[in-house]
Amino acid sequence: MDDKRFIIPIFISHLGCPHRCVYCNQDLIARPVSALPTPEEAAAEIERYLGLNSHKRTSAQTVQVAFYGGSFTALPLESQEKLLRSVKPFLDEGKVHSLRLSTRPDYISPEILEILKAHKVETVELGVQSMADEVLRISRRGYGRERVQQAVRDLQGENFEVGVQLMIGLPGDSPERFAATVEEVIRLSPHFVRLYPTLVIKGTVLERWFRQGRYHPLALEEAVALAKEALRRFQQAHIPVIRVGLQPTPSLLEAIVAGPYHSAFRQLVESSILYEQAIDLLAEFPHQGRPSLTFLVSPRDISTFYGQGGENIIKLRKACGLQEIRVKHEPQQKRGTIALCA
């Protein structure tokens, strides 16, 4: 989805959000921003990106300005409109084609939607995190599942592109509750999803609970297993998952106290999926007595199929008693799938 767009990010950090959820210390993990950017600063940032990155854009790409990092529609209306108007000259000139922003489900209203439509906002990402009321309550999100459902319906009714952000391993959650969240989000039919593991960050309520023994973060293997099942379900429902795991930044790495962080979290998840596919293929393929087998893999999946440190190949050899496993680049193989060469 996003590969068809050239995204220009404008960071508003934690501004606009009326809550401090138990897991959040946005001042530590977000790009440092002391105040809301002025319209002039936003325009200058757009000019800078357009100038510096013109060689990276293809003729097929559209340009989208994205207000990231905070709850945009929870800002005062005057502030919202000032920032939105700062993009208008670029829209009028055809240098920018649309806008996107992130916000909370409880800050979507008919008035807000009219403002967003008037300023060519195309994409709205909702920080949903969970569809379980108890998990939302413990996490101090300030809304329940019905508010999420209404926000998604309202956005879809006005033809916005809707994204949903979910978190894995929140306090009070369980594998069963998270699976139910995934199924409920599928029924809402968003245009895309992001999946983030819950980390214990310095200076948060969750850190205090962790040190008191009241919260136990997921092990990396547990988080990968939950993300794997979620990714598989969303793929089956034809809902793109545009991010799995957190973007590594120096400030984030310094702030992590505990939790299932990995710089290549998505690759771990996708590698696990390909390993399971390989095991299923071998169960159906007569390989006993053969010294080697060859798997056909999309060129873009080669490193993912091998796994971290080649662990998938090592495990497959042990599991199936093979001396050698070969991997062949096959441009016609659909990404995310593998086949056995007869």
Neighbouring residues of 60: CB distance < 8 A, sequence distance ≥ 6? 4
SS3 at position 21: coil
SS3 at position 213: coil
Out of 263, 284, 311, a domain closes at: 263
Split into its structural domains, the chain has a count of 2
The verdict on 235 and 318 lying in the same domain is: no
The verdict on 35 and 182 lying in the same domain is: yes
Helix (H) or strand (E) holding 125: strand 121-129
Cα dihedral 125, 130, 136, 138, rounded to 10, equals -130
On whether the CB atoms of residues 91 and 69 are closer than 8 A, the answer is no
Tens-digit pLDDT profile for residues 90-114: 999 999 999 999 999 999 999 999 9
CA 128 to chain centre: 12
pLDDT at 28 over 70: no
- pLDDT of 33 reads 43
Give the domain CATH number at 156: 3.20.20.70
The verdict on 255 and 165 lying in the same domain is: yes
Out of 229, 263, 297, a domain closes at: 263
Cα–Cα distance between 94 and 88 in angstroms, integer? 10
Cα–Cα distance between 189 and 332 in angstroms, integer? 29
Ranking 38-42, 58-62, 156-160, 294-298 by mean pLDDT, the lowest is: 58-62
The verdict on 51 and 154 lying in the same domain is: yes
The verdict on 285 and 186 lying in the same domain is: no
Tens-digit pLDDT profile for residues 72-92: 999 999 999 999 999 999 999
- pLDDT of 342 reads 63
Q: Which domain holds residue 325?
A: 271-341
The verdict on 252 and 276 lying in the same domain is: no
Tens-digit pLDDT profile for residues 292-303: 789 999 999 999
- pLDDT of 250 reads 85
pLDDT at 311 over 60: yes
Neighbouring residues of 222: CB distance < 8 A, sequence distance ≥ 6? 169, 260
Tens-digit pLDDT profile for residues 205-228: 999 999 999 999 999 999 999 999
The verdict on 117 and 27 lying in the same domain is: yes
The verdict on 8 and 122 lying in the same domain is: yes
The verdict on 277 and 230 lying in the same domain is: no
How far, CA to CA in Å, does 254 sit from each of 152, 201, 249, 262, 269?
Answer: 35, 9, 9, 14, 24
The verdict on 250 and 303 lying in the same domain is: no
SS3 at position 177: helix
Amino acid symbol at 229: E
The verdict on 127 and 238 lying in the same domain is: yes
The verdict on 224 and 296 lying in the same domain is: no
Out of 221, 244, 263, a domain closes at: 263
Give the domain CATH number at 308: 3.30.300
- pLDDT of 148 reads 98
Cα–Cα distance between 180 and 145 in angstroms, integer? 12
On whether the CB atoms of residues 151 and 118 are closer than 8 A, the answer is no
Residue 256's DSSP bridge partners are 201
pTM of the entire predicted model: 0.91
Surface-to-core class of residue 187, CB atoms within 10 Å of its CB (0-12 exposed, 13-18 middle, 19+ buried):
exposed
How much helix, strand and coil, in percent to the nearest 5, is found in the chain? 45, 20, 35
